[in-house]
A and B are shown apart, each in its own frame.
Chain A
C-alpha cells in the first residue's frame, strides 16, 4: 500500500536537463577556464556538475573534444 500522500517526501522534478559532469572538481575548473566553453555554461550546480544549454550540444561536445577529452554522452 502506498504511503499516506501527506507523509511522502516532496520533490521537484527537473526534466530534460543538459549537464556536464566531471570525475574531478579540478576538471570543472579547467573547463570553466576555457573561454569558449565557459560561454556555453549556464551555471554550476556543484563542484563537478555544470548546467549547460541543450541547444549548444554540438558546440560543447566539439569544444570538449578540442580540449582532448572524449566525453561519454548519455542520451
Chain B
C-alpha cells in the first residue's frame, strides 16, 4: 500500500480537504456536548464540581475545567482499578489523546483486560469522552457506546488525564520464559536517526508539497522514494521495513523534524536548533511516535489515504511491548510462545483489519516478528537471540525499551569513541557508526550531507552543505573544529581551505527576504541620523545602501524616538495608487508620501524623470514628475513592456485608465498604421436647438443627418444631401445651396 499519487495541483480539489484534528481539549469538550444531560450531571458530581444552579449547557465546559486541575486528575486516576489504569496507560504510552473504540478494545484484549468495564469507568468519571459517529450521535447509554456503537466511537482523553496517567503492566501471568540463548543481536538504534537526519536534509534542500487531502505531490514523493539514503537496505536488519521513505517522513513529521510551512501547502525542515534541543531524547521520541503511528503497517506499509479501513497492528504495538516488560528483566521470550499467549487471551487477535474479524493471512508469529524484529529492533527497543538448543527466535526489552515504556531508568550512554571520522581530500567523510550518537548525528547533519548510510557511513562536504551550516548559525571555525575533533587524522589542508573559501563566497551575495529600509529626505539627514543611532552590541549595524537609504536588518533597532515618521509602506501588501496624471495626459506626478521603491523602478521603464522644479522660496516640490514620450515608450517596447501591462499599471498606480494622450503615443508607435483622413463636411445650421432635435428625430430627415456638432449644427453626409433636401421639401422646408452660402 502506498500513498496515492498526486502530481497535478488540480488534484488538490479532487476530494474534500482534510481538516486538521481538533486540539485535544477541544475534541474532548466537543464530544461531551453531545452527552445526555443526566450523564453530564453524573460526571460533574463524580468530579466533585460545584452546583451550577440548573445550567446544564455549561456542564461540558465545567467538567473540562475541573479536570484541568492536575490535582483533581491525579486524584481520580489514583482511585481507578487496575483495568482502567491499564486502559489510560495506553493513552499515555502512545501520547495519543484519541483512540478508536475498536483499537482500544483490541489493545486491552491482548493484555487480558476486559475492555468494557475498564472503559466504562473512565467514561463515568469523565476522564475520557466518547465521540460516536462522524456526526456526533448523542451519548445516552454507555452500554451502547461501548457495545454496538464501539465501531464508530472515538475515545478522547482529557489532556490533564493523559499527564496524570502512567504505564501500567498487565497483572496476569506472562508468557513462559525461554531457555538459554546464543547469538544475541542488538542494533545500535541509530538507523532511524540517521535516516530522519537525511530526510531533514532532503526536505531542507527542497520542501515537499501536499495536496489538500494531505498526500504528497507525486514528483516530491518519488524524489524521496528514489533516494538510496532513505530507502537503501538496512545493514543490521532482521525484518524488512516496507515503504521506508514514507515511514521516515511520517516519523520526522511526528517528532517535529519537518513541519508544515505556515500559509502554504509545503512541509519544510525544522530549524537546526531542533538537533540541539532534542537530539539526546530523539531515540525515545521516535519510539513513542512509532507506537502511535497509525497510517503505517509493519507488513503492508503506508496506508492509502483513500482506504476506508483502519489497520490493527498500530493498536497492538504498545500492548505487545508491555508483555515483554512484564517479563523479568534478564529473561527472554520466544515469539512463538508470545503468539500463543496472545491467542489464549484474545483468540483471533491477529486479524489485519480493525473493524473486521476476517482471519489473518499471516501467522501471529509473523506479525510479532514484523513488529519486534522490524521497527522495535531498529529503534533499539528490543534485542534478539536464538534459544538453544531449539533454535527458536527470542526477544527481550533493552534498557532503552524499558525507558521508552516509562518503566526503567534512562539507558547508560554509549561508550565514547572520539575519533570516528576519516576526512578525505575529495571532501568525502567516512564515519564509523561506533563513534556516533544522536547528538553527533545532529551536529554533522547541520553542515555535511549524508550520502551513504550502511555499515560505514558517508557524508559529503559541499558548498551547499557548508552554506546550510552557516545559515544554521555555525561558523566556519566551528565546523572545522568538529571535523578535527573527531577525525582520526589531521584534516587535509584542502578541506579546511575549501570550507573557508565556500564560506567567504556566501558573503558575496546576500538575500534579504524582509528587510527594512529607512529613507531620508536628504543625504544630510541620513548622516545626522547615523550619528544619532545607538551603539549596537548584539545587533547588526545599519548599512547605507545609497545616499538616502539605510538598510536595517532588525527593525527593532531603529531609534524611532529620534525620528518623525513621514510615511510607511509594507511591501507584502498590494501596491498603492501613488501617481497622478497631470492634465496634459503625459506628465505623471509621483506622490512621495505614498510612493514606494518599486514604483520608481516601474516608472523608469516607460517614462523619463523631469528635473526637480524649484519653488519661488527655493525649496523643491514634494512631488517628482515623469514624462511619457515617444522615446520613453520605444524604450519600454524594447524592454518587453506590453500595452496590456501598461494598462494594468495605470489601473494599479493611478487608479484610472491609461490617459488618451499616452494611448495616442502608443498608436503612433504602431507600425503600418493608416494615416488619419481629412475632408470638408457640409454643416447644417438651423436657427434653434429644438429644430435640430426635430430634424434628428423625424423619420424622414434623421437618417440623412450625420454627427451633431453642437446645439444647432450637424453634419450632412455628401451622399445624403439630395435625400435630405427632398425630405425637407416634403415637410415644406427648404435647404439652401451650400456652395452659395460658403461663397
Contact = CB atoms under 8 A, between A and B. Distances in A.
Interface of A: 2-3, 5-6, 8-24, 27, 31, 42-46, 48-49, 51, 54, 57, 60-61, 64-65, 69-75
Given A9-B563, A12-B567, A17 B517 contact: yes
Contacts of B466: 70
A62 B75 CA distance: 58
Given A11-B520, A45-B546, A46-B545, A74 B598 contact: no
- Report the 3 A-B pairs with minimum CB-CB distance, sorted nearest first: A43-B601, A8-B564, A14-B517
A23 B592 CA distance: 30
A6 B505 CA distance: 45
Contacts of B514: 15-18, 54, 75
Interface in B482-524: 502, 505-521
Contact of A74 (B553, B569, B601): B553
Interface in B420-436: none
B563 A15 contact: no
A26 B510 CA distance: 15
A46 B511 contact: no
A69 to B, nearest CB: 5
Contacts of A74: 510-513, 515, 553
A26 to B, nearest CB: 10
Given A9-B529, A11-B529, A72-B511, A51 B601 contact: yes
Contacts of B543: 21
A70 B600 CA distance: 29
Contacts of A43: 597-598, 600-602, 604
Contact of B507 (A31, A51, A72, A75): A72
A12 B519 contact: yes
Interface SS majority for chain B: mixed
A57 B549 CA distance: 22
A44 B546 CA distance: 11
B525 interface: yes
Interface string B448-481: 0000000000000001101100110000000000
A3 to B, nearest CB: 6
Contacts of A16: 514-516, 570-572
B562 interface: yes
Contacts of A44: 601
A49 B509 CA distance: 10
B516 A22 contact: no
Contacts of B517: 13-14, 17, 19
A75 B516 CA distance: 11
Given A51-B601, A65-B464, A21 B525 contact: no
Given A12-B567, A17-B571, A46 B509 contact: no
Given A17-B571, A64-B511, 18 more contacts: A9-B562, A9-B563, A14-B517, A14-B518, A14-B571, A15-B514, A15-B516, A15-B570, A16-B515, A19-B511, A19-B515, A20-B509, A21-B512, A21-B543, A27-B508, A43-B600, A45-B546, A61-B511
